[in-house]
Structure 1
Amino acid sequence: MKKLKPLLLGLALGALGGVVGFWGARHGLKSSGTAHWGKPQLLGLLALLPVAWLVAVGLHELGHALAGRLQGFRLHWLTVGPLMWRRQSTGHLGFEWNRNLNTAGGLALSVPPDDVRLRERFRVFTAGGPLGSLGWTALALGVFSQLPPPMQSTVPAGALALSGGISLLLFVVTLLPFQAGGFASDGMRLLNLSRRGPKQELEVAMLTATVRSMAGVRPRELSRPALEAAAALPVQHPFNAYVAYYLYLHHLDAGDPEEAGRQLAHYREHLEQQPAALQASGWLEAAFFSAAYEHDAKAARAYQARAVINAHTPAEQPFRVEAALARLEGDAARARTQAEAALRELPRNLSQGSARLYEEWLRDTVRWAEQKADT
Structure 2
Amino acid sequence: MNKKIFKESLIGMVMGVGIMLSAYYLIPKDIIYKLFPTTNSESVIFFISVIICPFLAIFLHELGHLVAGLIQGFKLQLFVVAFLGIKRQDDKIKFYLNKELQYFGGVAASSPIQITNKLKEQFALILIAGPIFSLVFGLLFITLFIYSNTLFNSSFGIIGIISTGLFFATTIPEKSGNFFTDRKRMQRLYDKGKTGEIEQSYIETTSQLLIDNHYKNLSTEKLCLIQSDTEPIVQFWGYYFEFKHYEELGNSEKAALIKEKLLTYKEIVPVNIWNSLSIN
Residue 335 of structure 1 aligns with which residue? none
Relative to structure 1, the CA distance from residue 267 to residue 81 in structure 2 (aligned partners, 3 Å threshold; closer, same or farther) is same
Relative to structure 1, the CA distance from residue 106 to residue 20 in structure 2 (aligned partners, 3 Å threshold; closer, same or farther) is farther
Query: 2:108 corresponds to which letter in structure 1?
Result: A
Relative to structure 1, the CA distance from residue 47 to residue 246 in structure 2 (aligned partners, 3 Å threshold; closer, same or farther) is closer
Report how many residues are paired.
267
Q: Distance in 2 between matches of 1:38 and 1:187?
A: 40
- The CA deviation at 1:52 is 1.9
Deviation by residue 1:180-220 (Cα, 9 ceiling, x = unmatched): 44432212212211223333322222221222233228645
Within 5 Å, give how 1:79-118 maps onto structure 2. 79-89=80-90, 91-96=92-97, 98-116=98-116, 117-118=118-119
Q: Distance in 1 between matches of 2:196 and 2:134?
A: 25
Q: Distance in 2 between matches of 1:237 and 1:53?
A: 31
Q: TM-score, normalised by structure 1?
A: 0.60
Q: Distance in 1 between matches of 2:209 and 2:242?
A: 12
Query: 1:228 corresponds to which letter in structure 2?
Result: C
The runs of 5 or more residues in structure 1 that have no matched partner are 287-302, 304-375
Deviation by residue 1:147-184 (Cα, 9 ceiling, x = unmatched): 3xxx2xx4312321221111111111111233344432
Runs of 4 or more off by more than 6 Å in structure 1? none
Residue 322 of structure 1 aligns with which residue? none
Deviation by residue 1:11-67 (Cα, 9 ceiling, x = unmatched): xx7xx87x969x96954388xxx9x96364456424422222122111111111101
The structure with more radius of gyration: 1
Q: Distance in 2 between matches of 1:48 and 1:37?
A: 11
Q: Distance in 2 between matches of 1:180 and 1:29?
A: 28
Q: TM-score, normalised by structure 2?
A: 0.78
Query: 1:111 corresponds to which letter in structure 2?
Result: S
Deviation by residue 1:215-271 (Cα, 9 ceiling, x = unmatched): 22864543333322333x351231211211232344445564322221122123224
RMSD value over aligned CA atoms? Answer: 3.7
Residue 163 of structure 1 aligns with which residue? 159
The percent identity for this pair of structures is 24
Within 5 Å, give how 1:302-341 maps onto structure 2. 303=280
The runs of 5 or more residues in structure 2 that have no matched partner are 3-8
Residue 205 of structure 1 aligns with which residue? 201
Q: Distance in 2 between matches of 1:217 and 1:44?
A: 43
8 Å CA contact retained: 1:205, 1:226:
yes
Higher helix share: 1
Aligned-partner SS, 2:87? strand
Residue 141 of structure 1 aligns with which residue? 142
Relative to structure 1, the CA distance from residue 29 to residue 252 in structure 2 (aligned partners, 3 Å threshold; closer, same or farther) is closer
